[in-house]
Structure 1
């Protein structure tokens, strides 16, 4: 065990916002425990800014124009092995920059919130030895996350833990921690007038979140029947898509049961204001919705990890998947038509919630690798943990 205050390096990527948000949640938990030397590194952006910009563009366009192609590539590579030539290429970008950052910051442990596993190759090349941790940020497990040199895996659910073990990861290296989200999702907030001032307490409030970049398709087709109904009111969060926000404001801004916002920082407060959510099935948003106990309606999930996320939550009875606006509106109305429907959905949500996931992960890391009198730690999770000496 190491008695000094640890230095932690978190490697993420800016494809969407989820990996960064998970990294910030882990950083906040370390800070809360008095550990302030935490470096967040967007490795591809720093090492290869041109390639990073190009791949981000292709990634975003694949969601809009070629989702089937993206899903095909994701699925045919899902079982990829870490020693294949393709894996070696994917996990080699940024090695020189990472070596430089490790020299500069001398971290004691590396955390990945994105499956760009440069470290195993770098350690083999240089003889460096550091503990490696993977935090899987979806409800689905792609082969890119799996590598024999990774010491610890934190996953969303027991089902995903069992899948990881079935794919060859030693059982004692995998903890069903949940996906880390900001700590304010575990707090009860006072109503925020910015969100509540126009709300009618007699109506159910539907939150429509278009993602960080506002790329969810068919938004206007979803909003129209909901705001035309006497039962519902809609709050739309458009992320960084200012054009979408402008269009929705022009089209529905004069409706008393509609509000529109751009990028919202106070997502926990916003979610606690609402009765259900329509959203893209990204791992972080789904985890935030679970923490907020919101029934989920997932519209036209993109093939790949988002579709797999959606199908998993649907199989657990806590999310509904729709491919047309009319089907989605029918699902929303059906949920609130009978109290038993809603109670059953909420009971299933409670079974899958993983409160305080970031703290569970950080506590486990500290217990496995670091011990200080100033930083008492405890592990709260369902999985039995083995000492690092057994790993």
Structure 2
């Protein structure tokens, strides 16, 4: 690429946060999609970490601890703040975080547009007349199936959402239909062009003749009762195999490994840490058991996997789970025995398996969300440039 071509490309700034993997993965997926469409001028910044490193670390730990040890507290906070407005006392405080930093970043980077994959709207909440770096549009990519009002701000020019239901909900809050694009949730490369084959089975050490239950414990490996779930599934089904993804929780992986080292059916349990090419593992699986994060659920939908959600904690993940269950695309289970029975009923019944996949198909998109978002944003920037050039 010639140097002059590079600098003629629009420059995009993507702001994310590290509260869970979804916001980071969405940011990277959009960056990759922009590059696939020939635009390489994208800057990713964790605004909270850059502007308030100490507060960021403290709140991330609080999020993880309350989420796993005090889920009722986390759910209460989520519920209480869900209807808040951008100009409420608490909403204004949240959106004020990072203002000084974003001013410096904007002055340095001078982007043509800013994309948010986390609702920290320090830039939109600034008084635009005081800015020395122009007035670039701000876009929001909502990474859940539930709408928290923290995502809603009058200075967001365009929203990218997972479903038509979210678009309608934004409409009821006064957001114009033309300002909302139903794109799906951005996923990493591979989910729209991978097909199961023997090479992938060999790569993960799985038997293509056996049904595979993909059990994802979350990036931090926090799903409860994993040992009991694995033991029950292995004992109840004579040929089922389990692919257990422990994420970055090495302690969980070693604990499960020790527990099943001498188990009579332990050879059918396959343990993995964090799997970068998760789309490949999903492509050879029969069912998915997971925490209901927006990105992981979207991955399961894209892969056409019947989704089983175990004990969703209150907050956005429970809302995600309830929404997908209402569409027939997921089953929520609260006891190990219930989950095991639900899984086996689908695996043993081709008609139920087919029906579940049909519900998933209704939520799929023909184009990947990241590609759709990247194309839409580049088109809007180009249209703006063309309009400016004619004035």
Flag whether TM exceeds 0.5 (same fold).
yes
2 CA distance for matches of 1:126 and 1:194? Answer: 59
Instruction: Choose the corresponding residue for 2:356, options 345, 351, 356.
Output: 345
Instruction: Choose the corresponding residue for 1:197, options 182, 200, 205.
Output: 205
Contact 2:234–2:241 (8 Å) recurs in 1: yes
User: How much has 1:75 moved relative to structure 2?
Assistant: 1.0
Instruction: Choose the corresponding residue for 1:317, options 318, 328, 335.
Output: 328
Aligned length: 372
Contact 1:237–1:264 (8 Å) recurs in 2: yes
Deviations 1:130-188 (A, max 9, x none): 10100000000100000011000000011111111112111110111100101211112
Contact 1:179–1:358 (8 Å) recurs in 2: yes
Contact 1:196–1:273 (8 Å) recurs in 2: no
Number of the residue aligned with 1:368: 380
1 CA distance for matches of 2:20 and 2:138? Answer: 23
User: How much has 1:309 moved relative to structure 2?
Assistant: 0.2
Instruction: Choose the corresponding residue for 2:146, options 135, 140, 143.
Output: 140
Pair 1:291–1:93, CA change in 2 (3 A): same
Are residue 356 (structure 1) and residue 368 (structure 2) matched? Answer: yes
User: How much has 1:198 moved relative to structure 2?
Assistant: 3.9
Instruction: Choose the corresponding residue for 1:209, options 210, 213, 216.
Output: 216
SS of match in other structure, 1:286 = helix
Regions of 4+ moved over 3 Å: 193-196
Which one is further off, 187-196 or 329-338? 187-196
Number of the residue aligned with 1:149: 155
Instruction: Choose the corresponding residue for 1:239, options 239, 244, 247.
Output: 247
Contact 1:8–1:109 (8 Å) recurs in 2: yes
Contact 1:237–1:261 (8 Å) recurs in 2: yes
2 CA distance for matches of 1:167 and 1:219? Answer: 41
What is the root-mean-square deviation of aligned Cα atoms in Å? 1.9
Contact 1:199–1:257 (8 Å) recurs in 2: no
TM-score normalised according to structure 2 size: 0.91
Number of the residue aligned with 2:338: 327
1 CA distance for matches of 2:41 and 2:283? Answer: 32
2 CA distance for matches of 1:230 and 1:195? Answer: 23
* Structure 2: segments with no counterpart, 5+ residues: 1-6
2 CA distance for matches of 1:285 and 1:195? Answer: 22
User: How much has 1:193 moved relative to structure 2?
Assistant: 4.8
Contact 1:5–1:372 (8 Å) recurs in 2: no
SS of match in other structure, 2:125 = helix
Contact 1:198–1:256 (8 Å) recurs in 2: no
Deviations 1:238-290 (A, max 9, x none): 00000001011111245121100111111011111211110000000001111
Deviations 1:38-92 (A, max 9, x none): 0000011111111000000000001111101111111111111111111110011
Which one is further off, 94-103 or 122-131? 122-131
User: How much has 1:123 moved relative to structure 2?
Assistant: 4.2
TM-score normalised according to structure 1 size: 0.91
Number of the residue aligned with 1:248: 256
Pair 1:217–1:125, CA change in 2 (3 A): farther
Pairs within 5 Å for 1:257-296: 257-296=268-307
SS of match in other structure, 1:366 = helix
1 CA distance for matches of 2:142 and 2:122? Answer: 16
1 CA distance for matches of 2:172 and 2:203? Answer: 45
Number of the residue aligned with 1:48: 52
Which one is further off, 38-47 or 192-201? 192-201
